[in-house]
Chains A and B, each alone.
Chain A
Amino acid sequence: MASIDLEKMLIKIKGSQWALADIDWQAPGADRVTPEQWPKLKAFMSDLMWIEHVGARGFAAMAKKAPTATLREIYTYFHAEEQRHANAEMALMRRWGMLDGDELPEPNRQLRLVIEWLDRFSDDMPLEVLGSVIPMLEIALDGALCKFLLDTVDDPVCHQAFELINGDESRHLGVGFTVLEMQGHGEAYQLLIKAAGTLMRPSLMLGILSYLPLLNRMRDNIVEMGLAEESLYQVMRKFKTIGGRTEDGRRNPWYRLISYHGEVMINRDIKLYHRPVDFMVQLTDHLPRQVLPSIPSWVRELTWNPVA
């Protein structure tokens, strides 16, 4: 499959913007969420919304790093679109009575650490790091989480919102994989040395330390909700197939690293990885509130209200 034309993509992105006001959040059907679903769904939606928001911040960092003006503008739009998804998911939560007043859903502690890391270090990260992690998260969101949500929740408004969200996400994935391939262009040993150098950065090490427990925590959360682990396998395979469809893509060391890590993450038999990471989840769960970093101001721009 050939890479997409980014210029055309930008025009397409500009032409397919939607607003929260396009959806009637008061339409009937909110009662189709069953009382058994409700508490788990609340936790799930809150995680989903925060992941979208974290993705938004990632795109903001990429917009600063992008090599061309077109890609910069695309990432600026993607930043706003992820924010829109988080807003729409908050509007859904409000519709289902999961928000008290204007309060934001509480992010879990692993998310708090990732937010802090993004705020502090993401702007200094080379593009290829975020450029390979984000397609992975997107594909997990798109292929497993959203699909699962639509299979279990019967509310028509939820379906309407996620149809729009998935339309955006498919464009994000298209650009994501194109950039992944762009960054695999060159001599393999040069790419490898550069990647090894980046991996030695203390700031990236801290990022990995906050990223690993988050993933394990998310995996536990969604499996607890009833998502089949098989669908996670499918997602990892999909990432591997699409990312590795061209030689450039396969040469990208970050693609190799992320897809290898994906395999390890979904295989619970690899105790050497899962024991320490699960321990880190427990450890971060017991972090006292006082030592958690304060929430940066960009988080407060989230809103469920279609008009401001």
Chain B
Amino acid sequence: MTIQKQAIQDVVILGATSSGLDVAARLGEAGISQCQIIKLEAQSVVAMSRDAAARCWQLALASGGQICARTVVFTSSRMVTDLVGDDRQSDGFEGERIDLFSWPQGVDLKAKKVALVGGGIDAVTALPSIVAQAESVKVFQRKPVWILPNSAMKPSEVRKMLGLVPAIRQVVSKNRFNSDQYFLRHQSLVRTIAQVHLQCQVGDPWIRRQLTPNRQENLLPLVYSNEYYPALLAENCKLFAWPVVSFCRAGVHTAEGIEHQVDCIVDGSAAERLRSLCANDVASLFLVPNANPELPGIENVERLREQHIDFAVVAVREALSALTKPVKESVFSRAGLTTQD
């Protein structure tokens, strides 16, 4: 194979989804036009590797072509198994199986026993409406996440409101203000708010312990939900923190030796692995969930999506300036975030 010299793209967006197009449009407004969108239906990415010398990502396409990009924005989890791998042993599940990130059309969970496996913050946004539909839900949590209480305002509304104050109008209008960025600089504040939120909503100390993340965990991306904890504590919902061993014929086999029998598995592990991939390289990989109207908890997802787009646009700009000018302190280093696990 011949190695051809090719131009390095600033941004590659994987998936020509509505989120992908939104990010591209917003990046254009922000003055970043060197941006390529890859339609995953037309060409698929088979491998991705980091080129440390050129400070970019090499993406190999199924058609044989290659793309170089400084930053990558994911809007779909379709390629994640190829990239990150699947560490689950056997999979002989015979019931219905749904990928949390790419929710198919026309799914009906009524009168079904559902297992929600992994999923991190995507599971947080989806759980309330799954619980509202299904007969019973078992949540198999891999790692808990900090959840902030949800104010009624969207990030864009916050910006609009702050724009009314003359002194900060200029800052806000330049799109510099981002609540995530602010929180990143005050991580202990975020933890305290999330802890108080958890304390108020969950009474049982053991469940609260299971829902408390380790201190070492990344805070990003922040998730806001008032409905998650009540949904988790609902009559028809139960939380398990045991590691999942495999999907067996009738359900989920967990490490405490029990087979949890269900009709349908909502699998969040692809989304979660993609997120951890992005969290390990907060400076150049970003994830924006897609607003599929079929997805449960669409209002929450819409909000989360907007937040992600905001974050991605600001972070891509930061990352690009850091990657092109070597000695510049970026928002991540100031916030004490490292790129290791």
Contacts and interface: CB of A to CB of B under 8 A. Distances in A.
B259 interface: yes
B87 to A, nearest CB: 7
Interface string A43-86: 00000000000000000000010000100110011001101100
Count class of interface residues, chain B? 20 to 34
Interface stretch (B53-61, B154-162, B168-176, B199-207): B199-207
B255 interface: yes
Contacts of B259: 19-21, 306-308
Given A19-B258, A64-B214, A87-B258, 19 more contacts: A17-B245, A17-B246, A19-B245, A19-B253, A19-B259, A76-B243, A80-B243, A83-B242, A84-B255, A84-B256, A84-B257, A87-B256, A87-B257, A296-B205, A298-B206, A305-B258, A306-B257, A307-B250, A307-B261
Contacts of A84: 255-258
A73 B209 CA distance: 16
A306 B207 contact: no
A88 interface: yes
Interface string B235-266: 00000001101101010011111111100000
Given A17-B245, A123-B209, A298-B206, A306 B258 contact: yes
Q: Is chain A's interface secondary structure helix, strand, loop, or mixed overall?
A: helix
A38 interface: no
B214 A303 contact: no
Interface residues on A, range: 20 to 34
A211 to B, nearest CB: 22
A73 B214 CA distance: 12
A18 interface: yes
23 contacts: A19-B253, A72-B214, A77-B255, A80-B242, A80-B256, A83-B242, A83-B256, A84-B258, A87-B256, A87-B257, A87-B258, A88-B257, A119-B206, A123-B209, A296-B206, A297-B204, A298-B206, A301-B256, A307-B258, A307-B259, A307-B261, A308-B259, A308-B261
Contacts of A15: 89
A98 to B, nearest CB: 19
Interface string A265-308: 00000000000000000000000000000001110010101111
Contacts of B245: 14, 17, 19
A129 to B, nearest CB: 19
A94 to B, nearest CB: 14
B136 to A, nearest CB: 11
Contact of A80 (B204, B205, B248, B254): B254
A18 B248 CA distance: 12
Interface of B: 87, 89, 204-207, 209, 214, 216, 242-243, 245-246, 248, 250, 253-261, 341
A267 to B, nearest CB: 38
Given A17-B245, A296-B205, A69 B257 contact: no
Interface string A1-25: 0000000000000110111110000
Interface of A: 14-15, 17-21, 64, 69, 72-73, 76-77, 80-81, 83-84, 87-88, 119, 123, 296-298, 301, 303, 305-308
A20 B254 CA distance: 10
B261 A297 contact: no
Contacts of A296: 205-206
B341 A303 contact: no
Contacts of A83: 242, 256-257
Most buried by A among B242, B257, B259: B257
A14 B250 CA distance: 20
Given A69-B341, A123-B209, A296-B205, A80 B214 contact: no
Contact of A19 (B204, B206, B214, B257): B257
Contacts of B257: 18-20, 83-84, 87-88, 306
Nearest to B245: A17
- Top 7 A-B pairs ranked by shortest CB distance? A84-B257, A80-B255, A83-B256, A17-B245, A20-B257, A298-B206, A80-B256
B243 A77 contact: yes
Contact of A14 (B87, B205, B209, B248): B87
Contacts of A14: 87, 89, 245
Contacts of A80: 242-243, 254-256
B198 to A, nearest CB: 15
Contact of A81 (B255, B258, B261): B255
A18 B255 CA distance: 8
A293 to B, nearest CB: 13
